[in-house]
Structure 1
Amino acid sequence: MSIKTRLLLSYMAMTIIPAILCVLTAVALFPVLMKDKADDGGRKGVPVFWAASSEREELIAGIKFMAREDPTRFTDIHFLQKTDKQLNDLKAGLVVRLDNRITFASSYVNSSDLDTQLERKTADQGQNHWGGVKINDRFSVVQYDISISGQHTGKVYVLSDASLFKSARIFFPLILLSLLAAVGLTNGILTYLVSRNLIKPLYALKHAAEQIKAGDLEHKVNLNRKDEIGDLGAAFEGMRVRLNESIHLQLQYEENRKELISNISHDLKTPITGIKACVEGIQDGIAPIGPKRDKYMAMIAKKTEEMDRLIEELFLFSKLDLKRLPFNLEPTDLAAYLHDCVEELRLDPRITGIPLTFSYSGAGPLPVTADREKLHRVIMNIINNSLNYMDKAQKEIRIELIDSHAAATVIIRDNGAGIEGAALPYIFDRFYRAEPSRSKATGGSGLGLAIVKQIIEGQGGHVWAESQVGEGTGIYFTLRKIGNGGGSS
């Protein structure tokens, strides 16, 4: 549930719940403070306050009308008794005063000093309404002047028991207080719950941020919410994971950098040591002239060539690794390209006496997207690697081209010593050699296959190896075909 929905529901609850509590309070107070009344109209269950108020108003209005239009009715004892009985049912009574003498007084309000009280308390009031004058601190009085045949004058009094409304005076303040209490209680509880629901996850995020600030990136942020704060927590957790991975990657880069420096130092030290020994021998006069001197010079040239090749491969690998070497990708008929490469390799003195074959499973051109120059470097590096590790008397190298659905696959196989399964996943790592020691007896810089991987992947392909110890190794790589929209496989 979103925060917006939570707030909307809380606002609705702040309105609805107090109203419901107020109604329940009113329902509970009515039986206590008021009695229900059943009259001839069958209005059973109507609160006495509302019933009495309505009937009193109607009856008093009728008395007022009679006092103005037909005052002689107030000399009719039957009319007075009937009217008084109706008033008595409503906790009220009728008093008629003619010529300064009470001619009718309701038993409901009869008092020994009633005439004196009416005379004293209504002498200066004129026509009063309810609550204007009280008799015995109990009855509210309303009076109307009457004149009969112009000879008799008097007043008609309606005395109402004010205690009927005491419950109402208590009831309505209680309802108001209950409403205020319900509003305050509801708002307080909902505010606490909503704020707690929002503040608690924010404190969790704050704690996680402090952990990250302190360098602890292992503290997970898991809010288990499906709202905006949950999304924030998920984004924060994603940031933490990415930051943690970045730091680990940076540490790995640092470790790789140290390893690279160590490997470079080791691989450069070997030829430099040889060159140094040859130079010292010449300086010491061990080989002043003749074949021995020529042998020393040849050794110096060979070691220098090894250093030059290593530095060149280091420079190439560095640019490939930093993505700073551009690729000149162009349409290439891979079948014709490999055929030409095989013909060129057969002229290489190192291949002399080694059968080099090429096979293609398809018919016709096989167009791919490739950088011709760098692809030639790939093939040469793989061939050099094979030449370095072939240990059989009858050596053999085979190049195969397979036309698959989405990509062209090139396989370069040899019948050399093979590679153990445990070492196979690492042969494309820089400076990795399958033999336990870093002996240079087999030659190579340890960067050849690493460069192959960088070039093939830079052209959108994929490279891998399959090998069996004693039977040889096959290096596989793919290139994207033109027209199929395919990638590496």
Structure 2
Amino acid sequence: MDLKKRMILANASTVIIPMVITVFIAVAFLFIYCKMSGNDLSFKDYQRLSQIKLELLNTETGILQRSPEVVEEDEFQKHLQERLAEIQGELVIIKDGKMIFSSINLSKIDLEKSLDAGNMGRNEPIVIGDMTYSVQSVGLQFKDGTKGRVLLLAPLDQAATNLTRFIIIIGVTFVLLFMLTNILVSYHFSRRILKPLRNLQSAAAEISRGNLDQAIVEEGDQEIQALCRDLELMRLKLKDSVYSQLKYEDNRKMIISSISHDLKTPVTSIKGYVEGILDGIANTPEKMERYLKTISLKAHQVDQMIDDLLLYAKLDLNQIPFDFEKTDIGEYLKLCLLESEPELESSHIKVSLHIDLPQKQFVSLDRARMKRVIVNILDNSRKYMNKEQGEIKILLRDTFTSLIIELRDNGSGVSEGDLPHIFDRFYRSDKARSKGSGLGLAIAKQIVEGHKGRIWAVSHGEEGTSIMISLSKS
């Protein structure tokens, strides 16, 4: 349920519930009262009671509008008596504590009861003979300073009196039920809102302390559930961001460690050979030439490592734009093979290209970057070749949506434990730790993924390894 509907329902409940309960109580009370007393509480009784009270009020007003002495006149007394006779009421006039007129035969006790009821203003009924009266007192001050009082006695029907009390009780009952219902509904309504908000506050406190594993559960009304859902998404993104930050930090430490290790070996060699020259160890032209060639080779290795590192960093940060162009993939692989073939043959490695395509196929390539991929894979196969006569086969075939380039060698192969990691940067097996920068296949992966392609490896055990590249057709 959404919050707006719940508020409307809560406000309506605070009125409807006490009203329904009050009506039920009223009906039950009337039914029980009528059955037990045999009286019938009707609206006519209440209407008659109201008419009597109105007539008494009019009579009292008429008395107050005249001078006090007029109440002693027979004509005025007769007029008042006639008016009260319309409601079967009685009139009693008292001056200086003595009764000077009475339309009803009152004993001293009845008179005292009437005066007491009139003086207290309690409007409590009194019984005189077989009749029940309501007494209304009007105070007078005569010219001679004497105080007087006019008592207006109106007959009461007990059923009408009970009906008045009943209406008052029902009114009070409704007010009390309204207050109680309002408290209960407000408590329940606030609980539905405050409970999920407290849970949100608790989760926010955990997140502020760095605990990003504290899940935020969707609960409460629709608006609060939407808030919980958005905060949970924020928590997950924040968690991913922190995880990425930690991962980048670990990678940075690993890069520094790997660079330090990889550069130390050639730099140490360069330093050793330079010291050998300075110390006069290279005392013949042949030794001097060999020392200088070794220094040149090691310097080239350092330069290559730095170039690979810079290229990988730029690819990782997407700082190198790709220059794509539509390319015949078969002809492109032939050109790559022609450039790499002399170096491979000097290492006693035979390379061949096998194209299994029904027709020419074109792909969108950055020719220079993809050439780096092919060269890195071929160079990696050359480094780990352990056969006297090495062999590398490049196979090109297609599927319904993509082209597959497979570069398969017959080298030492890759163990199952190393296979999932060979495209990680700086990852190399221990037995070949000193060969290369460890970034060749990592750079190849970055470039292939920059072409929206996919690269993976398949091990053939001791028979070699296949590097597979999948590219979308143009």
Residues 275 and 181 (structure 1), Cα distance of their counterparts in 2 relative to 1, 3 Å cut: same
1:57-72 aligned within 5 A: none
- Residue aligning to 1:283: 278
If the length of structure 2 is used for normalisation, what is the TM-score?
0.76
Aligned letter for 2:190?
Answer: S
User: Out of 336, 356, 364, which is 1:369 matched to?
Assistant: 364
Query: Is contact 2:357-2:397 (8 Å) kept?
Result: yes
- Alpha-carbon distance in 2 for matches of 1:241, 1:429: 26
Aligned letter for 1:138?
Answer: T
- Residue aligning to 1:178: 173
- Once the two structures are superposed, residues 151-172 of structure 1 have per-residue CA deviations (whole angstroms, 9 ceiling, x without a partner) of xxxxxxxx85432211111101
- Residue aligning to 2:116: none
Query: Is contact 2:407-2:468 (8 Å) kept?
Result: yes
- Alpha-carbon distance in 1 for matches of 2:157, 2:290: 138
1:291-370 aligned within 5 A: 291-348=286-343, 350=345, 353-370=348-365
- Once the two structures are superposed, residues 171-211 of structure 1 have per-residue CA deviations (whole angstroms, 9 ceiling, x without a partner) of 01111111101110111000001111111111111111112
- Identical aligned residues as a percent: 37
1:29-108 aligned within 5 A: 29-34=29-34, 47-50=40-43, 52=45
- Residue aligning to 1:485: none
- Residue aligning to 1:463: 455
- Residue aligning to 1:387: 382
Query: Is contact 2:365-2:451 (8 Å) kept?
Result: yes
Query: Is contact 2:46-2:160 (8 Å) kept?
Result: no
1:55-204 aligned within 5 A: 117-118=102-103, 136=128, 138-139=132-133, 161-204=156-199
Matched, 1:228 2:227: no
Moved more, 455-464 or 221-230: 221-230
Moved more, 164-173 or 354-363: 354-363
Aligned letter for 2:459?
Answer: S
Instruction: Name the count of aligned residue pairs.
Output: 394
Q: Give, in angstroms, the shift of residue 13 of structure 1.
A: 1.3
Query: Is contact 1:370-1:479 (8 Å) kept?
Result: no
Unaligned residue ranges in structure 1 (runs of 5+):
39-45, 58-97, 99-104, 110-115, 122-130, 142-158, 483-489
Instruction: Judging by fraction of residues, say which structure has more helix.
Output: 2
- Alpha-carbon distance in 2 for matches of 1:282, 1:352: 31
Residues 349 and 387 (structure 1), Cα distance of their counterparts in 2 relative to 1, 3 Å cut: closer
CA RMSD of aligned residues (A): 3.1
Aligned letter for 1:118?
Answer: S
- Alpha-carbon distance in 2 for matches of 1:331, 1:225: 56
Moved more, 338-347 or 21-30: 338-347
Aligned letter for 1:11?
Answer: N
Q: Give, in angstroms, the shift of residue 19 of structure 1.
A: 1.1
- Once the two structures are superposed, residues 66-94 of structure 1 have per-residue CA deviations (whole angstroms, 9 ceiling, x without a partner) of xxxxxxxxxxxxxxxxxxxxxxxxxxxxx
- Residue aligning to 1:481: 473
Residues 213 and 56 (structure 1), Cα distance of their counterparts in 2 relative to 1, 3 Å cut: closer
- Alpha-carbon distance in 1 for matches of 2:354, 2:207: 58
- Alpha-carbon distance in 1 for matches of 2:49, 2:184: 45
Q: Give, in angstroms, the shift of residue 360 of structure 1.
A: 1.5
Aligned letter for 1:307?
Answer: V
Aligned letter for 1:471?
Answer: E
Aligned to 1:282, the other structure's residue is in SS state: helix
Matched, 1:452 2:447: no
